[in-house]
Amino acid sequence: MPVLVDFWAPWCGPCRMIEPTIVKLAKAYEGKLNADSNPDIASQYGIRSIPTVMIFRNGEKKDAVIGAVPESTLVSTIEKFVVR
């Protein structure tokens, strides 16, 4: 199962815009990471803009979506890595 990691911050307007979608998807694909509280991790993955949603599979980064995008974009990006 892929893991969704959302790099976000509470002050980020676009992050707040997609938060309901992220909360919904996080229940199925894992969770969120506050970029302000975890700057080392954000730096490790080269996060330059938030929201950035990364998809990991088996501990390896597979894809990333940057910005406030529609739920359908996030779902289709995640679903590419779901093994059925």
Please identify every residue annotated as catalytic: 12, 15
Q: What is the rounded CA–CA span in Å between residue 72 and residue 60?
A: 23
CB of 78 closer than 8 Å to CB of 55? yes
Give the single-character DSSP code of 32: E
Q: Where are the beta strands (DSSP E) in 1-84?
A: 3-8, 30-34, 52-57, 60-66
